[in-house]
Amino acid sequence: MQLLKWVLNLLLVCSMLQVFPLPLAQTICSEADRAALLGFKAKILKDSTGSLSSWVGKDCCGGDWEGVGCNPTGRVNTLALQIPERDSTLYMKGTLSSSLGSLQFLEVLVISGMKFITGPIPESLSNLSRLKQLVLEDNSLQGNIPSGLGRLSFLQTLSLAGNHFNGVVPLSLGNLRNLVMLNLGRNSLTGSIPSSFKNLVHLQSFDLSFNLLSGFVLEFLGQFHNITFIDLSNNQLSGHLPVSLFNLVTLSDLSLSHNQLTGSIPDQVGNLKSLTSLSLSHNKLIGPIPASISRLQKLWSLNLSRNGFSNPLPAISSKGVPSLLSIDLSFNNLSLGTVPNWIMDRQLSDVNLASCKLRGAFPKFRPDSLSSIDLSSNLLTGTISTHFTNMTSLQKLKLSNNQLKFDLSELKVPDGISSIDLHSNQVFGSLSSILNNRTSSFLEVIDVSNNLISGTIPEFTEGLSLKVLNIGSNKIAGQIPSSISNLIELERLDISRNQITGTIPASLGQVVKLQWLDLSINRLTGKIPTSLLGIHSLRHANFRANRLCGEIPQGRPYNIFPASTYAYNLCLCGKPLQPCKGKNQEMAQ
């Protein structure tokens, strides 16, 4: 039996060798292709990725040339050089060589995430007649998109996103009838969406976001019956939402936010049975939100904020939009009074109902799933001290611009919270509770400005993650603790309009990531310490209306800030103010 199995296996191997004969010799790459690749390498002046250092020797098809692939005849058919998005340290610097257009058998060209490859797309790339994928994302390419790319009839993927291209989108791209994915996002393209795009009937992903495109959202988008992703956000598109758009039963993600769209949402929105994410925020849409939206069984993210939508909200049953996790109806013309039950009773992760004219006591949400709450700019009253105790997933809390009145020292928030914004309420008490070790180890943002908070600024321990600390416009007294140097991640500090006394601690100069500093309208004395010259990232500072005296630190940016930065102090001097007494003009300069 073992002998029989061995014979059968031998026969199988022999038959496979006849179908797939072993190569007689290793395939050596074409000399013309090797020269074209070296032409590309010559135009790259610096390569911190190290990829091109492997391009040595005569055989570019041997597997040693990183990113290069070949077909069985030794012709280069793949060039793929890509840096992961999360790695911000690697890059290439240079331009794209026209020699790439000589790679006649190229099917895949990916040069992505290199950051500092500049210049235009070479016209010669239009000669790559076999090309199926062209991806030049996240470089610094510029100029117009060559119209000749419209000759690449086999192209299935075209992505030029994240560059500096300008001018209009070429009409010729409408000739690419095999395109499945088109991404021209994050450039500076102008003009309208070409009418020739109606030919791209096989598109599954369509992204023109973050450009300067104008004109209308054209009806022909409704003909893209295979499409799953449309992002036209952050442009200057106008006009009504085309009804045809809402018959795309395969569409899962639709974003038209940050445009100038008008009119209302068609009732046909309920036909988008595959839709998971809908964003129409920052437009000029009006009217009620259609009740048919409740039929969207897969919808998990709904963002209709910053429009002109008005009452009534649709009466949605407990079985409507069953997958909903995130909702944003902020800054419309809604007068809700209370949070609707179909929002209150769900296990949502994000609830954003800012400026919805909510009144009365803070609503009691289901505590087990919420990670972000924004109920700012409403008319909420009373206390919130114990509402968040069981919200173990809560990370962001924004309740600014309400009429909440409670003792800050009694506020209980979960340990993992990263952002607390309570500015412009009637909060009183001290800062000690939200700046203790347990609570603030994960906190990145604290804004309790424009309240009635008193007491002193507590000591800052090591290990804090704060990036923003805004306690301005309160009744806080005492001194700035020297332990402020422990806030090594701090980017914005505002303690203005309080009753802070003492000197500015020299240790503040160790907060080297600081970009915004406001110490104005307090009772600070002494000099502005020269140690602050060590904060090289500072873009804004305000020392106005204190009791400071002495020479302003004579170095950038302090000596080039406007004079108003230092106005209404006792005796500050030096640029940009008058020279200090006892120093001649030359020294003052």
307-327 pLDDT, tens digit each: 999 999 988 887 889 999 999
State which H helix or E strand residue 13 sits in: helix 2-19
Cα gap 166→438, rounded to integer Å: 50
Cα gap 376→330, rounded to integer Å: 9
User: With contact defined as beta carbons under 8 Å apart, do 241 and 261 qualify?
Assistant: yes
Predicted pLDDT at 437: 53
Cα gap 155→170, rounded to integer Å: 15
Domain 27-213 has CATH 3.80.10.10: yes
Q: Which two tokens stand for residue 548?
A: 């400071």
234-334 shares the fold of 27-213: yes
Cα gap 154→145, rounded to integer Å: 18
Residue boundaries of the structural domains of the chain: 27-213, 234-334
CATH topology of domain 234-334: 3.80.10
Per 3-state DSSP, what percentage of the chain is helix, strand, and coil (rounded to 5)?
A: 20, 20, 60
Q: Which residue has the tokens 């009183």?
A: 428
Predicted pLDDT at 433: 80
Cα gap 270→291, rounded to integer Å: 8
Cα gap 146→182, rounded to integer Å: 15
Predicted pLDDT at 11: 37
Cα gap 307→257, rounded to integer Å: 10
State which H helix or E strand residue 168 sits in: strand 164-168
Each residue's pLDDT expressed in tens, for the chain with a length of 589 residues: 333 333 334 333 333 333 333 333 456 899 999 999 999 999 999 999 999 999 999 999 999 999 999 999 999 999 999 987 666 789 999 999 999 999 999 999 999 999 999 999 999 999 999 999 999 999 999 999 999 999 999 999 999 999 999 999 999 999 999 999 999 999 999 999 999 999 999 999 999 999 999 999 989 999 999 999 999 999 999 999 999 999 999 999 999 999 999 999 999 999 999 999 999 999 999 999 999 999 999 999 999 999 999 999 988 887 889 999 999 999 999 999 999 988 988 889 999 999 999 999 999 888 788 999 999 999 999 999 888 888 889 999 999 999 999 999 888 888 889 999 999 999 999 998 888 655 567 899 999 999 999 999 999 988 889 999 999 999 999 999 999 999 999 999 999 999 999 999 999 999 999 999 999 999 999 999 999 999 999 999 999 999 999 999 999 999 999 999 999 999 999 999 999 987 543 333 3
Q: Which two tokens stand for residue 264?
A: 């209302």
CA angle 577–581–585, rounded 5-degree value: 70
